[in-house]
Amino acid sequence: MALNLADGNDNPSLAGGSVTLNDRFTIDLDGALPTYDVAPSVAYSATMMSDRSRPLMALVCDPQQPLRADKVMTLRAIETRTLLKPHDWGVIDWLIENRRCPAVIVDRPAGGRVMPSLDTRSQPMHEDVVSRMLIRPAAELLELLDNNNLTHRAIRPDNLFYVDSEQSRIALGDCISAPPAVAQPVVFETIESGMALPGGRGDGSSLNDLYSLGVTILTLLIGHVPLAGMSDDEVIIEKLTHGSYNGLVGRERLSLTMMEVLRGLLNDDPKERWTVSDLMYWSDGRRQNPKPAAIPRKANRPFVFDGNECQTTRDLANAFASNWDAAVGPIKDGSLNVWLRRGFSDEELIESVNDAMTDPMSIERSDDWLVSRVCIALDPQAPIRYRDLRATVEGLGLLIGGYIDDEDMRDLFAKTLREQIPAFWQKNQRRLTEAQEKLLGDYDRARSYVDRIGLGLGLERVAYDLNPNLPCKAPIFENDYVVEVSDYLPALENIAISTGDLKGLVDRNGAAFLASKMARQVTPDLRDLDNQVDPHVSLIASVKILATIQDRVAKREFVDLCAAISSLLEPSIERFHSRTVRKRVREGLKKATRGGRLSRLVGVVSDPRDLVADTKAFQQAIAAYARSVMEDQRLEYEKTHRDYFARERGAQMSSTVSGFITCVATVLIFVAMMFF
């Protein structure tokens, strides 16, 4: 996405306190709208150039996190009045932080938030108002999202807005400017999603949104967030112990009608939780009795672990995951197996746990491998857990994208794939969605990249493959936001303009980013880029890669970038031996720089005719020089050993003359004998 100034210049900068986005929207940098901030984004006033009367705002996003850019076009096409729809997105110069940041243009509601803050207590909303203004419109929106394979993943009371100043309609707020569910408090997430790290929750499904909607409805009805004051771990334990409905609703006084919808939406069993069609059915006035949440099977006596009594396998799995090292003992000493056999008459469960403890390859495995698999066997619904790594199957790939610079998380993620933990999770599921099956296939393919060290491979390649919205993490783009291949060269051009110096062109992150998006075009040059012997080969390979981007994607000139790269190529000119060739190459680079085409730079500095001719001439010069040196050495030797060579030559001459005289004498004697 491109950024332009309000006056249309190519090089963005502050222009009258505003910048333009994609030549369609103007963002007022002095028009902060804190009332509409949606964590982690901040809101600023914006206008559409073609319709300045339309109320809009720009959400300036956290540049360290990928926004859901691939969802913008689909959401924009949906016909609904119950969502602050995104209109466009792009990257702007954010002078407040002296860097470039992504921004999303969304509708600006005329009213304020439905609940100013999750920390506040407000007047409980009447159930008729909740039904009319939230439940029915939200059900219709979620149906539209589900039909387009989309999820919201940010449904909570402080992300609800009154559309009009009369506060007659409510719309769901932004769901694009941050990764899915990253800002959701644990209480608004299902048990499984709440167990995962915020960056590892994933898109989920409509069932996740329906659960969040259920907690939001409850919050508005009682005027405060349920379980307020509890830590995240305490919220999870409360839900595990009593179930989400009982744990959240508690002793709150609600009508039977509201209890009905909340029982349906807060059911912890995904198969029994209400679907969008169930909610639509209810909102039409046709009442139904949701099935009560299944009571988790409890053992005859609790399993005491880490000072706590665990009566269900889910409780114990959560306890194991919370105290990882301590879990090894009861798993290995057999006490877990004994408790399962005495407490549950479930051979399938026992077999699954035993399977988790057994490696079919008969390879000695780590304790982390053991605990991770046992936690899955005890609680197949829970996210994948491997020490501090906790992610749903939908969020595992997103997690490494957010933690690509964290060495500890990188190591845990690599081990998770290497030890095929997702495959074991899959083995313990009764049913998978099509999206989950695809993701599991992606993880299996990614496993082949994890331990490969070449440029364009490794964990960096895995992160970009699994996160199409992940911006390039190359250090050279530290103050930029490069999320598409088409952004790569303009970003380098901006650096060349502002600093006149480029310290690198394609590093490990850059190589992985480009290989993920255009592998066929750049893979041959990536091999040369990884050349550790000849730095000229590596540098020229990086310029070739950039030239490929320019020719296939950018298709415009980059004069300043060419000038900066020409300076970088100066040492490569010195590899030519002929002064004449070096002069010709320098002149060729200057001419190519003015044209702004990287391929011409490559053509000049690595012209095969010049290389072959220079090499051949250099070899001939070496041979001639060697002959000259040998001749000089011979003459010098003869000069210093003149007496020796005189005697040698005298002896040779005497021998020759003597032989000649002998031959002549012999002939004369033979002739004389013939006549006499």
DSSP 8-class letter at 34: G
Contact between 605 and 621 (Cβ < 8 Å): no
Overall size of the chain counted in residues: 676
Answer for the pair 356, 411: CB distance below 8 angstroms, yes or no.
Answer: no
Decide: 524 and 550 in contact? Cβ < 8 Å: no
> How far is the C-alpha of 261 from the C-alpha of 275, rounded, in Å?
11
Instruction: Check if the beta carbon of residue 458 is closer than 8 Å to that of residue 452.
Output: yes
Distance, CA of 421 to CA of 414 (rounded, Å): 11
Cα end-to-end span (Å), the chain: 119
| Strand pairing category for 3-5 and 18-21 | antiparallel
Q: Is the separation of the CB atoms in 600 and 561 below 8 Å?
A: no
Collapsing DSSP to helix, strand or coil, 465 comes out as helix
Question: Within the chain, which residues score under 70 in pLDDT?
Answer: 1-16, 362, 532, 574-578, 607-622, 624-625, 632, 634, 637-638, 641-646, 648-650, 675-676
Question: How far is residue 662's CA from residue 267's CA, in Å, rounded to a whole number?
Answer: 127
Closest by CA position to 57, among listed 94, 21, 106 = 106
Q: Which H helix or E strand runs over 101?
A: strand 99-107
Listed in order, strand segments (DSSP E) in 463-515 are: none
Q: How far is CA 154 from CA 124, 160, 179, 202, 492, in A?
A: 22, 10, 10, 12, 35
CA 517 to CA 463: how far, in whole Å? Answer: 12
Would you state the structure tokens that stand for residue 478, as one six-digit string?
A: 């530290």
Helix (H) or strand (E) holding 368: helix 367-378
What is the 3-state secondary structure of 373-427? HHHHHHCCCCCEEECCEEECCCCHHHHHHHCCCCHHHHHHHHHHHHCCHHHHHHH
pLDDT digits (tens, 9 = 90+) for 320-372: 999 999 999 999 999 999 999 988 888 899 999 999 998 877 677 899 999 99
pLDDT digits (tens, 9 = 90+) for 514-570: 999 998 888 888 888 887 677 778 888 899 999 999 999 887 899 999 888 888 888
- Per-residue buried b or exposed e for 523-532, using 16+ beta carbons within 10 Å of the residue's own CB: eebbebbbee
134: helix, strand or coil:
helix
Question: Taking the mean position of all CA atoms in its chain, how far away is CA 132?
Answer: 40
- State the residue for tokens 């609800």: 160
In the prediction, which pLDDT does 37 show? 93
- Cβ pair 476, 495 in contact under 8 A: yes
> Which residues contact residue 383 at a Cβ distance below 8 angstroms, ignoring those fewer than 6 apart?
192, 193, 195, 196, 200, 390, 391, 392, 393, 395
The pLDDT value given to residue 8: 36
For residue 181, give the nearest of 35, 392, 464, 382 by alpha carbon: 392
Burial class (CB in 10 A: 0-12, 13-18, 19+), 2: middle
Q: How do residues 150-171 score in pLDDT, each as one tens digit?
A: 999 999 999 999 999 999 999 9
Domains of the chain, first to last: 3-107 (3.30.200.20), 127-283 (1.10.510.10), 303-455 (no CATH), 475-606 (no CATH)
CB atoms < 10 A from the CB of 423, how many?
Answer: 13
Instruction: Give dist(CA 365, CA 23) in Å, integer.
Output: 57
CB count within 10 Å of CB 163 equals 20
Residue 621: its pLDDT value, please?
A: 62
